[in-house]
Structure 1
Amino acid sequence: MLNGERRIARPLRWAMVGGGRLGQVGYKHRIGALRDNTAFQLVAGAFDIEPERGKDFGVNIGVSEGRCYPDYKTMFASEALREDGIEVVSIATPNGTHYEICKAALEAGLHVICEKPLFFTSEEGENIKALAKKKDKIVGVTYGFSGNQMLLQMRAMIEQGKIGDIRVVDLQYTHGFNSNDKSDKTSDAQKWRIDPKVAGPSFVLGDLSTHTYYMSQLIMPEMKIKRLLCDRQSFIESRAPLEDNAFVMMQYENGAVGRLWTSSINAGCMDGHRIRIVGTNASLEWWDSKPNELRYEVQGESIQTLIRAMPYLDEACMADERLGALHQEGLSESWANIYLKFAIAIDAKNRKDEEALSNLVYPDIDAGIAGIRWIENCVRSADNGAVWVEFEANKELSSTQ
């Protein structure tokens, strides 16, 4: 159980790029990082593309005025001159800026925590992985839902053979908040998400389904996709070529099959984030709307609902428990769990404790690259007429940075 006691020697000096007053995601980063005040301390930031607004925002959340910078380049250079300069930076900016900021941060000797999807191409991902290795730094990816404890319970039960061999993987992440084009015109956050120059080669595949794909790999680390077929649509025509709805069919190397539906035009849907794993003997199902519960359905027996924080759960699940079984946890605790693991990973890397790193389950640079490759394979299938394609899990670099 987590109770806020320190897991590393001291809090890491932390900064943010983006995540200011007008952003949707910055607060999630802060409540995650600062939930355990023994892990991170927010000391600096380049919070906004408009410097004065960013400075005003930073001061209002407790950052000293002199460490609220007009841009990330100024922040990295200025902080490098301080004895108490930043050690790690979170990148909470539009997709198209991730690569250049991440590269600059690593070159400045900083650990990096970055929003998803990590970059536009897997080649960029491999370049950053090589740079992070050279600089001996951690790159983490904020798959914010993945800190939900019951996902680790699913992982443990599958490893223990509680459902038998996996046959079917059923994934969904949908909502209805973009079912018309109103937000395309009024929301700055939505405007860039449907601009290929800023968002990259996809909309909902990158914005939504990369979460669910990573979570499925977290739950089933041995399950590898062999082939997939992706059919994507732009129901709001002005969003083309980016999709607001997509279906993906998958065939796994062990013979299992899967499907994923991702959409932002599921009108009326407030929370359609669901994972169901069907085995030869039983099934497991988790819904984001009920994150403290896990359905365990054994063929021929009564349906069981496993509840977070109860002593019958696996040790791996219980290790991230915070509030006790009588008290509900949710997205803020999930973010806190992954940020605490980022801190532990950074501390282990600083101490050159590779064994501790190898035993830590968290969304690292490899998870970020896997998410990019997921998108690349889906786009390749869809753009060739929704055809089956062999899943390209690895690509040779054609160039290096």
Structure 2
Amino acid sequence: MFNEERRFEQPIRWGMVGGGRGSQIGYSHRNAAQRDGLFKLVAGAFDLDPARCQEFGINIGLEEQRCYPNYQAMFEAEAQREDGIQAVSIATPNSTHYEICKAALKAGLHVVCEKPITFTSAEAEELKTLAAEKQRVIGVMYGYTGFPMIHQAREMVARGDLGDIRVVNMQFAHGFHNEAYEEKEPGLKWRVSPEVSGPTYVIGDIGTHAFYLCEMITGMQVSRLSCMRQSFIPSRAPLEDNAHVMMEFEGGAVGTLWASAVNAGSMHQQKIRVVGSKASIEWWDEHPNQLRYEIQGEAPRILDRGMGYLYQDNEGVAASHIGGGHAEGYFESWANLYHRFALVFNATERNDHATVDNVWIPGIDAGINGVRLCEKCVESADNHSAWVNF
């Protein structure tokens, strides 16, 4: 079971940029970060409208003077306080991530940022260098990687249960944007606007989630890829609402990625299947408590979260908020990640390098590779699906 007795002398004082009234992502961050008592929300710049920001902040329990009109004002004012924020989460549109993250690091703050963390890998590398100079940590919100069964899958690959990895099939293919809903939905409009979303839509928005599951579970690195992408809703061009990517990994394995917002009738269809020389595993985010395990020549097995036959000596596998059989889901996965972010932020403050080195988080390198995936897919697709080096 999860270690709810783990505490700091004081919770990490934490602020947010974006994620105001009506934001599902903002609520997800607040719910997850504070669930285990390791973070405390004390400040925010939640909205471009200062009055609306202040009203919202007060309604969720903040002091009026700590609800700021913008992130610049928040970072400046909080730096003058003895009880100022130590970390910040960034839940704003893609085009703002780089500048806000850069400003946060310069203000001496640890960062949790939505992905893609920047528009270009050069910008992401710059943030990595700045974080190292400031001795701060950047966490990237790959929210599905907190599920215990993802860590079980990773451990099974590492222990050789599957044999040599040969094939990885990745997909995140929902159907909710099969028509031009952005004409009436401002929250979708920015996602299909290049100046705000960046050079991709579904590759950056959801494809990076599936891709990072592959990186995390297998540890393999892509050597080259080929991408084709489509704008089935013509007004979304040049951004794609469907994409197929073929990949070759260092060491000889191969993979495919399907990212789509026009898979009509589908809820999420985020799945990953890892095929080895001895066995395969498959995980589906709509049934996150189960991992399908198939050994050649034997009946398929369904492994369930919270059970003693799992690799419970791995903290990520054991990180269940409730016993097996009960349904854990999205918020628990996010909470597991924020728990890990807290441990690494706190250890960094104490110069506890052993903890920093041994607690896994989706950090800046995960963010860099997500941005690079977008760049390379665009490069390939714009050159008639040519193979490009990763």
Q: Give the shorter-chain TM-score range.
A: over 0.9
Contact kept? 1:14, 1:89, Cα under 8 Å: yes
1:186 to 180, 184, 191: 184
Report the alpha carbon displacement of residue 22 of structure 1 after superposing the two structures with TM. 3.5
Comparing 286-295 with 369-378, greater Cα deviation is found at 369-378
> 2:4 maps to which residue?
4
Aligned mates of 2:212, 2:353 — CA distance in 1: 23
> 1:28 maps to which residue?
28
| 1:2-52 deviations in Å (ceiling 9; x for gaps) | 142234332100000000013231011011101112x10000100001111
Aligned mates of 1:22, 1:321 — CA distance in 2: 28
Matched ranges for 1:160-175 at <5 A: 160-175=159-174
Contact kept? 2:306, 2:318, Cα under 8 Å: no
> 1:217 maps to which residue?
215
SS at 1:109's partner residue?
coil
Aligned mates of 1:4, 1:189 — CA distance in 2: 36
Aligned mates of 1:390, 1:81 — CA distance in 2: 47
Aligned mates of 1:145, 1:7 — CA distance in 2: 24
SS at 2:211's partner residue?
helix
Aligned mates of 1:4, 1:188 — CA distance in 2: 39
> 2:199 maps to which residue?
201
Aligned mates of 1:9, 1:368 — CA distance in 2: 30
| 1:364-385 deviations in Å (ceiling 9; x for gaps) | 1111111111111111111111
Matched ranges for 1:360-399 at <5 A: 360-391=359-390
Aligned mates of 1:284, 1:389 — CA distance in 2: 29
Q: Tell me whether 1:265 sits opposite 2:262 in the alignment.
A: yes
Report the alpha carbon displacement of residue 319 of structure 1 after superposing the two structures with TM. 3.0
Q: Tell me whether 1:313 sits opposite 2:298 in the alignment.
A: no
> 2:236 maps to which residue?
239
Report the alpha carbon displacement of residue 66 of structure 1 after superposing the two structures with TM. 1.3
Report the alpha carbon displacement of residue 249 of structure 1 after superposing the two structures with TM. 0.4
Report the alpha carbon displacement of residue 348 of structure 1 after superposing the two structures with TM. 1.0
Q: Tell me whether 1:136 sits opposite 2:135 in the alignment.
A: yes
Q: Tell me whether 1:228 sits opposite 2:190 in the alignment.
A: no
Report the alpha carbon displacement of residue 321 of structure 1 after superposing the two structures with TM. 1.7
Contact kept? 2:149, 2:317, Cα under 8 Å: no
Root-mean-square deviation (Å): 1.0
> 1:70 maps to which residue?
69
SS at 2:82's partner residue?
coil
Amino acid at match of 1:14: W
SS at 1:25's partner residue?
helix
> 1:274 maps to which residue?
271
Amino acid at match of 1:19: G
Aligned mates of 1:148, 1:306 — CA distance in 2: 13
| 1:120-141 deviations in Å (ceiling 9; x for gaps) | 0011011111111111101111
Contact kept? 1:7, 1:344, Cα under 8 Å: no
Contact kept? 1:19, 1:48, Cα under 8 Å: yes
> 1:19 maps to which residue?
19
Report the alpha carbon displacement of residue 145 of structure 1 after superposing the two structures with TM. 0.7
Comparing 68-77 with 320-329, greater Cα deviation is found at 320-329
Amino acid at match of 2:384: G
Amino acid at match of 1:163: L
Alignment CA distance shift 1:253-1:318 (3 Å): closer
Amino acid at match of 2:213: M
TM-score by length of 2: 0.98
- Percent of residue pairs identical: 55
Contact kept? 2:271, 2:282, Cα under 8 Å: yes
> 1:397 maps to which residue?
none
| 1:84-143 deviations in Å (ceiling 9; x for gaps) | 111100000000001111111111111111000110001101111111111110111111
Report the alpha carbon displacement of residue 281 of structure 1 after superposing the two structures with TM. 1.0
- Structure 2 unpaired stretches of 5+: none
Aligned mates of 1:207, 1:318 — CA distance in 2: 27
Pairs aligned (count): 388
Contact kept? 1:23, 1:189, Cα under 8 Å: no
Aligned mates of 2:222, 2:276 — CA distance in 1: 17
Amino acid at match of 1:133: A
> 1:60 maps to which residue?
59
Report the alpha carbon displacement of residue 199 of structure 1 after superposing the two structures with TM. 0.6
Matched ranges for 1:146-165 at <5 A: 146-165=145-164
Aligned mates of 1:271, 1:390 — CA distance in 2: 29
Report the alpha carbon displacement of residue 160 of structure 1 after superposing the two structures with TM. 1.1
TM-score by length of 1: 0.95
Aligned mates of 2:348, 2:374 — CA distance in 1: 29
Aligned mates of 1:386, 1:344 — CA distance in 2: 42
> 1:395 maps to which residue?
none
